[in-house]
Chain A
C-alpha cells in the first residue's frame, strides 16, 4: 500500500468541514486521478497527504508511516503559481534541488546528484535545455522541469497538482504520455479539475467534493459528474460534450 487515507476529515479552525470521512487506498503501480470542482478540497487533501496540514480526524499513512516521515517517498509536482517563474536558476540547478534531503547537508552537491539529475533530464527530454534559464522556458518545458525535479527525489509515488493548468492541449498530451511511461515504475496521483482529459489516461478516478467517490474510468458517466458538480458546471461540461 503506497498511500492509505482512513476516515479522514478536515476543517480549518472555526469553519465547516472541507473534507468529510475520506477513505482511499493507493496501491503500488496505480495511476489515479482526483477530480472535482474548485473549492472541493483537492488542494487540502494534497496538503494532508504531504503532511503540510494535520487531519482534524482520521489518519494518513504513506507506506505505513506518518506523512512527515513517509513523504521522503513522494515526488511532488506543485502548481506553477507556487513559486516565482522569474527566479534566476538554470534547468539543471532547479532539478538538483530535488536531491535535497538525500544529498549531503553542507556545501554543494555530490557526483551522484549530478548523475541522477542527468538521468531524469534524459527521461523528461530536457537534456538539451540543461543550461537554459527557467524564465526562458515554455509552459510545457517548465512542467517537465518540475516533474524532473520530483523524479530527482527518487520517489516511489508521484503527486501532481493541476499539471495541465497552464499549458495548451497538445503539450498536455505530451505530459500525460510521459506520465504513462513513468507509471511503469511509479505510482501516480494527479489532481485536476479537467475531468474530460484526465479520464483518458488514468486507471482510476476519484471524485472529490467534500466527500470522495472512487470509480474505475469506465464507470465515469455524466450522471455521476452531475452528482458532484453544481448545476452550472454541468452545463459547461455538457456543452463541451455536444461538440
Chain B
C-alpha cells in the first residue's frame, strides 16, 4: 500500500493528533536547536556556552523565551501598524506548513491505528513545500517594509532579492530528483531511494540544494537580510517581545524544515543507512523516526558549522554566485541528467551511456580550461589608470568600451 492510500484511511482524530505532534515537535526542536547551536558555536570558539539554567544549560532557551514574552512590545510611530503586526504572523504560521508532507516514519501503529507519520501525501508535495516557503518570505519582506526605518527596509529588500534568486537554484536542483524518481510526491521519492540515496546518485544536485537552502533560510554566511554588522538586525531591527520571538521561532523551524526536505529528497528520508535496514522494524517501526531526526540533526550541525566557520559574504558577490554559478551549473546538470535518463530508458547499451558521460566530462574540462585562460589573460592585462572626470557628464553609450 502506498502512503497516500494509508493516509486516506485516517480518521479525523488521527489527523488532529498528527497536526499537534508536528507543532509540538517543531517547537521543542526549536528550543533544542537554539541550545545546541549556542553550545556548538561556543565549543568551536573555545568557550563553554550557556551552562547555568538546567542540566548542561538545556533550559536556557526556555528561560530566554519567557524573558522575551515579558518584554515591552513596541510599535514604532512610523510603522504601518497592520502590516507590522501581520508580518511575524505570516512568518510563524507558514514555517510549520511544510511539515505536512514530510514522511517522518514508515508504517507504524498510532493509538492502535496503522498509519504513517505524514499528514498528507499529495502528488506535488515538494512543490507544495516550495510554495509555502515562498509565502513565508512575505513575512520578512513586509516586516522590513512596514517598520518605517532604513535598516529594516534594506534588510527586507535584500531578503526579497536573495530569496527569489536562491529559490530558482533550489527549484532547479530538485528537477533532477523529479526526473530520477519519476514523481514529485515526497513519499514516492523516499521509496525510490530504497537502493541508492540521491545524495550519491545526484551529487551535484545535492550540493546545489545544500547551498541554496542556507541562502533560502537567511543563515550565515548568507544572512545578509539580518547582517548585524551592517544593518543592526536587518528586517527585525524594530521588533521586540513576542513579535521578535515569532521571527526567531520561524527562522529555526525553517532550518529544520529545509533540513527535513533535504533528508527526504537526498538522504533516503526515514530509511536506515545502507546495511542497517534491519533496524527499521525495531520499536514497531518507530525506530525510523530516529533515523529521520538523526539525519535532520546532521544537517542542522552543518548549518551551525557553517556559521561558526565562514565570514558573511558581500551582497554583490552573493548574488553573482547565485545567478552566474549556481543556476548555470544546475541547468547544465539537468540537461545531463535528462539525457542519461532518456538514454537508459530507451535501453541504450552501457557503452552509449559511457560515451555520453565522456562527452559531458570533456565539455566540463574544456569550459574549465577556457575560464582559466580568460582569468590569466585578465590578470596579465595592465589596468588602465583611473582618473576622475573634470566635470560630471553622463557616459556616452557607444564610446569604445573595453568591457561590457
Q: Verify that A and B bind, or say they do not.
A: no
Interface residues of B (CB under 8 A from A): none
Interface residues of A (CB under 8 A from B): none
